Amino acid sequence: MSTIDRTINEQEAGELKTKLHDLWREPPGFIGWFAHVHHTSIGKRFFVTAFIFFLLAGILAALMRLQLSRSESHLISPDLYDQIFTTHGTAMMFLFAVPMMFKAFSTYLVPLSVGARNIAFPRLNAFSYYIYLFGGILLFGALLLNTGPDTGWFSYVPLSGPQFSPGKRVDIWAQMITFTELSALGVAIEVITTVFKLRAPGMSLNRLPLFVWSELVVAFMVMFAMPAVMLSSTLLILDRLIGTHFFNPAEGGDPLLYQHVFWFFGHPDVYIIFLPGTGIISAVLAAFSRRRVIGYMAVVLSVVSTGFLSFGVWVHHMFATGLPALGMSFFSAATLMVVVPTAIQFFLWIATLWTGKLVIRTPMLWALGFLFVFLIGGLTGVMLASIPLDLQVHDTYFVVAHFHYVLIGGAVFPMFAGLYFWWPKITGRMLSETIGKWHFWLFFFGFNLTFFPMHMLGLRGMTRRVYTYPPESGWQYLNQLAGFGAVLMVFGILAFLVNAWRSWKGGAPAGDNPWGASGLEWGTSSPPPPYNFLFPPTVNGREALWDAAPDQPVVTGFHNDSREVLATKAIDADPEHISEMPGPSYWPFLAAVAVGGLLIGSMFTPWAVVWGAIPVTAALVGWFWPNKNEVERRRSREIWEPEN
C-alpha cells in the first residue's frame, strides 16, 4: 500500500467501480434499511430526523405565540402551556440543535472532508442514530398522551422532584436526556477517531479544514459536557423513582447542586451548538469570497479556546441565587473572556470578506445573515455577563431574545447556510436561487420582528415561562408584533420545504463541485458513491482542491475484497495501515431497541434494569460475534516481524 500517481485506464476504472460498489453498497429494501451503516446513509437520516423535530418544536413555538398574542387568553390551559414550552425547549436543544449541528453535519461531512471512505465505528454510528430517534419519539409521544414534561427544559429541583411533580412527566424528560446524550457520546467517539485516524495522507492537523476543526472541538466538548447532564438527570430520576435524596434538603441533599451540575453541561452545550456553525460559516465564506479565511491558526485557536472557556462560565446562569460576590465575579470575568475568541473570528471573517471576490448566492446570504444576527446576540450577551445587569433581566424575555439571537443566529442561520451549500453534494441537485432568496428574506425579517421586541418586553418586566399576562401590563402590542414575525418565519420555512421538494423532484444536476469550493468532499461525484472516493485522495495544502497539484497522487494498493480504509497517523497523517470496516448489520438497531426498552422500562420499575440487561447483553454479543471468513482473511494478511 502506498500513494502513487494516477495511472489507470478507463476500463480498469470501470471494473474497480463495480467491485467497490458491490463491496460498499447497503442492503436494499425496507428491511435492509435497518442494516445500513454507511455514514452518508446515517447522516441523511440525522438531517431529516433533526429537521422534522425542528418543525415540530417550531409548531409548538407558534402555539405559544398564539396564546401570548392576547392578554389573559384562555386558549391554552396553563397545564398544557407548561408542557408546550418545556417540550419546545427540550426538543430544540436535545433533538434539533445538537443533532443537527453536530451529529448530522459531522456524520455526513467529516469523513468526506478528510477523504475517508466511511466514518470510524460505523455500526456505533447507526446505533447512535436509532437511540436518538427513540428518545425523540419518546418525548413527542409523551406530549401527545398529555404526559409531556412540564417543568422547563432545565427541570430545576425541587419543582421537578418527587414532591412537586408526581406522575411520569419528569421521568420522561430525564430518560429522554439519557437517550440523546448516549447518542451524542457515540457520535463524539466516531468523529474524534475519524479525524485522528482516517485523514487523507498529507492532511496533517495543521491542514485540517476549519469546519472539521470545529466539529472535532465540539466532539471533545461533548465527551466532557454530556456526562454531566446524564449525571444530573440520572440523580433526579433516582430521587424520583427509588427514593434517593441527592436534592432533598431534609435528608442532607441540596437543590443548588442540581443547578451546578446541569449548567456545567448547559453552558458548554450552547457552544456545542454554536461552534459547528462557525465551522460552516468559515467554509461558506471561503467558498464565496473565493479565498481562504485569513488567519487559519487564529481561527483554530479561537475555536479551541472557546471550547475550554465554555466550561468555566456556568455560574452566570445562577447569579440570582445569592452566591458570594467574589466567586460570581470570577464567572462574570470568564464570560467576558469568551468574547475575545469570538471577536477574533468575527474580525477575521470580515477581513476575509473585505479581501475576497464576493459571490452572493443563497448560502452566502445566510452566512451574512448570521454575521448580523449573531452579532446582536453576542452584544446582548456582553450585557448579561455583568452581574448587576443580569440581575435585572435574568429570567425575563430579554434573555429569551438574547438566546434566540445566539442560538438561531449561531445554529439555524449557519444550518441553512450549510444546507444550501452542501445540498448539491448530498442530493446531486441544485436548489432554486429565487426561492432560496425568498426563504432567506422572509425568515430574516420574520426572525427579527419576532425576537427584537422581546428585548423591550423583558425590560418592561415580562418574565419567562408565563402562560399569560395582565392586560394593563402593556405587553400585548409587542407580543402581537412578535406573533406577526413568527408568521413570516413560518412562510420562510414553507419556502424552504417547497424548494427542497422541487429540487428533489427535478432540480438542475449539480455536478461534482458547483461552487468551485476547496474541500475534499467536492472532489467526488454528487451524491457521493457508496465508497465515497474511487481513489482516496491525498492533500497538498489547507485548501485541498485549490492547493492540489495537477497530478495530485491518490491512494491505491487496497485488496478490494472487503470494506477497507487507510488509517493514518494522528498528527501528520502519514499512511499507517489498511483497516477493515464492518459491513451492514441489524445488530445496532436491535441493540438500540434493547437499550431503549431498558431505559423506558426503568421509569416504571427498577427491575427493568436487571431484566432489561439480558436483551442488551444478547444484542451486544450478536453485534460483536466474530465472523470466520473475516478472521481468516485478516490473519492471512498479518505481517510478522520477528524482533531482531
Partner 1 sequence: MRRIGYGLLLLLLAGCGTHQQSVTNSAGTQAARIEILWWWMLGILTTIFVIVVGFVLGAVSRRRGGSEQMPEAQVIDSARDRRLSRVILVLVIMVILFEFGFLVASAIVTKYERGMSSKNPVEIQVIGHRWWWEFRYASSQPSEVVVTANELHLPTGVPILIKASSADVIHSFWVPNIAGKRDLIRPYQTSMWLQVDEEGVFRGQCAEFCGHQHAHMAFYVVAEPMNRFQAWLQAQKAPAKEPLEHKARQGRDVFMKSPCVTCHTIRGTDAGSRVGPDLTHVASRSFIAAGTLPNTRSNLMQWIRDSQSVKPGNLMPSMDLETSELESLVAYMQSLK
CA 257 and chain centroid, separation? 27
Per-residue CA distances from 615 to 178, 183, 606 (Å): 18, 19, 16
User: Which is nearer to partner 1, 361 or 563 (by Cβ)?
Assistant: 361
- Beta strands 2-4; 554-556: pairing state: antiparallel
Task: Give kind and range of the element (H or E) at residue 211.
Answer: helix 210-241
User: Which is nearer to partner 1, 55 or 350 (by Cβ)?
Assistant: 350
User: Which is nearer to partner 1, 89 or 135 (by Cβ)?
Assistant: 89
Per-residue CA distances from 619 to 71, 594, 628 (Å): 54, 7, 19
Q: How far is the CB of 171 from partner 1 (least distance, A)?
A: 17
In angstroms, rounded to a whole number, what is the distance separating the alpha carbons of residues 270 and 316? 13
User: Which is nearer to partner 1, 222 or 384 (by Cβ)?
Assistant: 384
Q: How far is the CB of 147 from partner 1 (least distance, A)?
A: 15
CA 19 and chain centroid, separation? 34
In terms of Cα–Cα distance, which of 298, 228, 300, 294 is closest to 264?
228
Q: How far is the CB of 95 from partner 1 (least distance, A)?
A: 21
User: Which is nearer to partner 1, 77 or 617 (by Cβ)?
Assistant: 77
In angstroms, rounded to a whole number, what is the distance separating the alpha carbons of residues 405 and 458? 14
Q: How far is the CB of 436 from partner 1 (least distance, A)?
A: 13
CA geometry: angle at 455 spanning 449 and 458, to 5°? 130
Cell of 252: 442532607
In angstroms, rounded to a whole number, what is the distance separating the alpha carbons of residues 187 and 119? 10
CA distance from start to end of the chain: 24
In angstroms, rounded to a whole number, what is the distance separating the alpha carbons of residues 96 and 47? 9
Q: How far is the CB of 616 from partner 1 (least distance, A)?
A: 36
User: Which is nearer to partner 1, 256 or 608 (by Cβ)?
Assistant: 256
CA geometry: angle at 272 spanning 271 and 274, to 5°? 55
Largest CA-CA distance found in the chain, in angstroms, rounded:
90
Task: Give kind and range of the element (H or E) at residue 85.
Answer: helix 78-90
User: Which is nearer to partner 1, 3 or 151 (by Cβ)?
Assistant: 151
User: Which is nearer to partner 1, 286 or 442 (by Cβ)?
Assistant: 286
In terms of Cα–Cα distance, which of 265, 324, 217, 302 is closest to 94?
265
User: Which is nearer to partner 1, 348 or 500 (by Cβ)?
Assistant: 348
In angstroms, rounded to a whole number, what is the distance separating the alpha carbons of residues 27 and 15? 21
For 471: left if phi > 0, alpha if psi spans -120 to 50, otherwise beta; the answer is alpha
Q: How far is the CB of 325 from partner 1 (least distance, A)?
A: 6
Q: How far is the CB of 258 from partner 1 (least distance, A)?
A: 10
User: Which is nearer to partner 1, 343 or 621 (by Cβ)?
Assistant: 343
**Cβ atoms of 562 and 573 closer than 8 Å:** no
Residues 6+ apart with CB under 8 A from 177: 94, 229, 230, 233
| Residues linked to residue 2 through DSSP beta bridges, in sequence order | 556
Q: How far is the CB of 244 from partner 1 (least distance, A)?
A: 18
User: Which is nearer to partner 1, 537 or 588 (by Cβ)?
Assistant: 537
In angstroms, rounded to a whole number, what is the distance separating the alpha carbons of residues 211 and 479? 38
